[in-house]
Amino acid sequence: MTGGAGDGLYVAVDSPVHRLPAQVKLVALVGFVICVVSTPAHAFWAFGVYAGIVVALVMTAKLPAATVLRRMTVETPFVVFALLLPFVAAGPQVDVLGVSLSESGVLGAWNVLVKGTLGVVAAIVLSASTSPRDLLTGLERLRLPRTLVAILSFMIRYVSVVSGDLQRMRVARESRGYDGGSLGHLRAVAAGAGALFVRSYERGERVHLAMLARGYTGMMPSMARRQATAAEWRRGAGLVVVALLVAVAARVVGG
Amino acid sequence: MHVPDGFLNAPTSLATGAIAAGVVGISLQRASREVRESGPALAGLTAAFVFAVQMVNFPVGAGTSGHLLGGALAAALVGPWTGLLVMSVVLLVQGLLFADGGLTALGTNITLMGAVTVLVGFLVTRGLLRAMPKRLGSVVPAAAVGALVSVPIAALAFTGLYAAGGAVDLSIGRLAAAMVGWHVLIGIGEAVITAAVLSAVVATRPDLVYVARHLQADLVLVDDQGRTTTVSPDRPVAAKPAGRSLGAGVAITLLIAGVVSLFASANPDGLEFVGAKLGFGEAAKESAVAGSPLADYGVSGIGNGHVSGALAGIIGVLVTIGVGLLVAKLASLRRRAESASEPEPASRA
Amino acid sequence: MSKPAIEIERLAFAYPDGRQALFGVSFRIERGERVALLGPNGAGKTTLVLHLNGILGSVAGGAGTGRVRISGSDLHREHLAEVRRKVGLVFQDPDDQLFMPTVRDDVAFGPANLGLSGAELDERVHEALVAVGMQDHADIEPHHLSFGQRRRVAVATVLAMRPDVLVLDEPSSNLDPASRRELADILTGLDVTLLMITHDLPYALQLCERSLLMDGGRIVADGNTRDLLADADLMSAHRLELPYAFNPLSVPGPEHA
């Protein structure tokens, strides 16, 4: 049985973070990250505070550390970029362990790493504590156009089905002795992808027929169940307020 | 690569967020005809397809494998507006569910990997199809070139954004060279994969391919001796109003002229530099139009160098387009006059 | 005498590419009847059935002639929503029909489009899920259900609209024997007019007292299911075969249900 796009991403435990409505979490976490991004890189103490907040969030959401660390590997591409910066950036050089590095490059690397990492963990907290359906509901509540929410919804629903088709094609191909690698095999793989598009398109048409058969006339029904209470909004706002204070202090006080 | 949080400063991130929201909003409107006819289901399924296909390891030769980004392919398959929605939805899911791409960088990622690749890919593909023979066989090469071009242009756009709000001081010239150079390579891979996948679809269901909608397949006719002849239909495709794609093309050109030009280096260009070094720079005479209001890429009378340069760029683009349209119009009038006096081509046996 | 649930008069239809699929089909199905639609692949069964709720046919802007009447009323474009409520279509692939994030959302989709909301909507959803025995799975995502469970939820999505006629396309295909029996029990207990496309001849005999046999876009036989299945010449003339060791004359039919 295939899983959905949110499978393995949503950690199904009960926690205060899980219970918050998705729209509150979205606004709070995005606001938090904006504050992080606006903080000057040399205010090292500020990032210590942010890191503390983020760890507190992970713990409050009862997320297993191993899961969070594993999902953080998505960072790898920009970590590589960050590590290159001290070597390629211009400006005054500084000696680190016998290697001449650009001072602004080192600071820049720190800037990219710390902000990117904090952003990734914030996003992990969001997706691990919110089921895909609730996330869609939250987006709808935040006035994302219904059509866009519907497209997102169908995508999430059918990713597993389409990936399953792709997987079956791959198994069939490998069962016939294809082992991948040479350009001549490109045609086989591409043929599979092309066939996948046709299958997905035709399924899209059939889903549309099924929608028509159940009375769809162009307007998707609303999925949102309840509004967030003022208390819940206050909790989300609290996070942003703290982050804002830190960011402002960092700008005023400096590193 | 998905841009993470903190790569670009907050004002730039917010600005790209606004651009992305605007572009997605326009796509929802424009695609609404396509989307309403077949419902959001089709766009959603196509998005699921793109997401799945992005994970596939395509062998691109020399023992290496590459991954598909998909902007130009999506544009060729489902059209520019639905394609833009599809790519944006993929990026939203990647950012919100997989933490791939920062939450505050969603605007940047959608602008670059959604809007720029899709629109550039589509414009190039469509432009080429207009110039090439109106046959099904033209679709794949046109889309391949669209894919090839879309990637480095997105890299260039990224460089522009970085110049505006990058967090680390880098030489923009070097960054641009590195980004564009590297992404030309990626663009080649993208072109190869796009061509392969698109030709598979065109071979089985060309009716599903947006850019191939009005193209006829070559007919293979067999006579009573079993000999085959291939006949390509030479009926011209009914001219579609050029307004919309022309408008988009103009908009992008103006954007480049007006905004990206702000980041053009003030250093002397290659020729001037060499001229100064070798001493023939002094031999340069003042051009006859040196006194014109637009001389030296500036608008006389406007003090701020940046605004002046940008304005000059924009005015220059508009004048070029105007002249170009005039020439094209004159040429078409001439062609029409000539063809009216030609005899009708003999009908095929 | 109440109006027939379905009345088809000389229905003809051709696809846009010119291929004609129906060549003048006529039949009546009375309220409460259970009818199986049999025939080889390509006979036009699915095409016919798509006319019943206005997806195909002149009402959808297509090319065709003939008359389709549901519960006595002709199909009209303005009344499409009403027609789609009256005729519930359950397709072959449940994944095509379960397109919302959770079971509850899917079952609610139809009645929500009819204008229901709030407590009334919740009630209707619950009623439909109970009818198929899936009320404990309301908040599950569809890809976490087994195939048989998805089939049942697909039936519920249609039942939630309280249709007069329930049309099923290959309901027993790909079901394991237990799920097949569960579905049969559910269908037997429903108070609807039933039209079932199927290749599963024992299933047809078990659930439907009457059968229509289609081939090449025409109705070639219309009668008691047992009589049709027992007619060996008719079966072989239209590429129908009984399962190994299955004798239609030796098993009880729906009259004994």
**Any idea where the domains of chain C sit in the sequence?**
6-239
pLDDT of res. B272: 53
Q: Where are the beta strands (DSSP E) in chain B?
A: 58-61, 64-66, 219-222, 228-231
Tell me the mean pLDDT in the region A68-94. Answer: 82
- The yes-or-no verdict on residue A137 having pLDDT over 70 is yes
Structure tokens at C93: 């692939």
With CA atoms as reference, report the closest residue to C204 among C234, C176, C227.
Answer: C227
Backbone angles phi, psi at C42, to 5 degrees: 80, 5
- The rounded distance, in Å, linking the Cα atoms of C172 and C203 is 8
Tell me the mean pLDDT in the region C156-166. Answer: 94
pLDDT of res. B311: 52
Structure tokens at C120: 């009334």
- The yes-or-no verdict on residue B136 having pLDDT over 60 is yes
Contacts of A214 in chain C (CB under 8 A): 84, 109-110, 113, 157-158, 161
Q: CA-nearest residue of chain C to A201? A: C96
Tell me the mean pLDDT in the region C92-111. Answer: 94
Measured between CB atoms, which of C100, C143, C158 is closest to A4? C143
- Contact residues, A window 193-252, toward B, CB-based 8 Å cutoff: 193-198, 200-201, 203-205, 207-208, 211, 216, 218, 220
- The rounded distance, in Å, linking the Cα atoms of B180 and B170 is 15
For B234-272, b/e burial (b = at least 16 CB within 10 A) is eeeeeeeeeeebeeebeebbbebbbbbbeeeeeeeeeee
pLDDT of res. C213: 95
With CA atoms as reference, report the closest residue to C111 among C142, C88, C95.
Answer: C88
pLDDT of res. A183: 66
Residues C230, C231, C232, CA angle at the centre, nearest 5°? 100
Contact A221 C109 (CB under 8 A): yes
Residue type at position C242: L
Give the closest-approach CA distance of C12 to chain A in angstroms: 21
Q: What is the DSSP letter of C36?
A: E
pLDDT of res. A2: 44
Contact A152 B59 (CB under 8 A): no
Binning pLDDT at 50, 70 and 90, where does residue B347 land? Answer: very low
Binning pLDDT at 50, 70 and 90, where does residue B310 land? Answer: low
Close Cβ partners of A156 (under 8 Å, ≥ 6 residues apart): A4, A5, A6, A132, A136, B93, B97, C101
Above pLDDT 90, what percent of chain C? 61
How far, in Å, are A146, C1, C79 from residue B81 at the CA level?
Answer: 17, 55, 33
Architecture of domain C6-239: 3-Layer(aba) Sandwich (3.40)
Long-range contacts of C80-83 (CB under 8 A, 24+ apart): C80/C54, C81/A215, C81/A217, C81/C113, C81/C114, C83/C53, C83/C54
pLDDT of res. B349: 33
The residue count of chain B comes to 349
Element containing residue A118 per DSSP (H, E): helix A103-128
Give the closest-approach CA distance of B254 to chain A in angstroms: 29
Task: Give me Rg for the CA atoms of chain A.
Answer: 23
Close Cβ partners of C245 (under 8 Å, ≥ 6 residues apart): none
pLDDT of res. B129: 93
Tell me the mean pLDDT in the region B191-215. Answer: 90
pLDDT of res. A180: 59
Give the closest-approach CA distance of A69 to chain B in angstroms: 12
| Predicted confidence (pLDDT) per residue in A6-54, tens digit | 566 888 888 989 999 999 999 999 999 999 999 998 889 999 999 999 9
- The rounded distance, in Å, linking the Cα atoms of C5 and C30 is 5
Contact A208 B39 (CB under 8 A): yes
Please report the sign of the dihedral spanned by the C-alpha atoms of residue B26, residue A215, residue C57, residue C44.
positive
Instruction: Find the range with the poorest average confidence among A10-24, A38-52, B225-239, C86-100.
Output: B225-239
CATH of B10-216, one of 1.10.1760.20, 1.25.40.340, 1.20.140.10, 1.10.3720.10: 1.10.1760.20
Contact A194 B56 (CB under 8 A): no
Q: Is the ipTM of this complex over 0.95?
A: no
Please report how many Cα atoms fall inside a 13 Å half-sphere around the Cα of residue B223, on the Cβ side. Answer: 7
pLDDT of res. C150: 95
Tell me the mean pLDDT in the region B289-299. Answer: 53
Q: Hey, is the C-beta of A214 within 8 angstroms of any chain C C-beta?
A: yes
Burial of B328 (0-12, 13-18, 19+ CB in 10 A): exposed
- The rounded distance, in Å, linking the Cα atoms of A55 and A69 is 12
Structure tokens at B273: 């530099």
Residue in this structure with the two tokens 């999506």, named with its chain if needed? B74
Highest mean pLDDT among A216-230, C51-65, C177-191 belongs to: C177-191
Element containing residue C165 per DSSP (H, E): strand C165-169
pLDDT of res. B170: 77
Q: What is the mean pLDDT of chain A?
A: 86
- The yes-or-no verdict on residue B278 having pLDDT over 60 is no
With CA atoms as reference, report the closest residue to C60 among C93, C13, C7.
Answer: C13
Instruction: Find the range with the poorest average confidence among A211-225, B26-40, C30-44, C211-225.
Output: B26-40
First-residue to last-residue Cα distance in chain C? 25
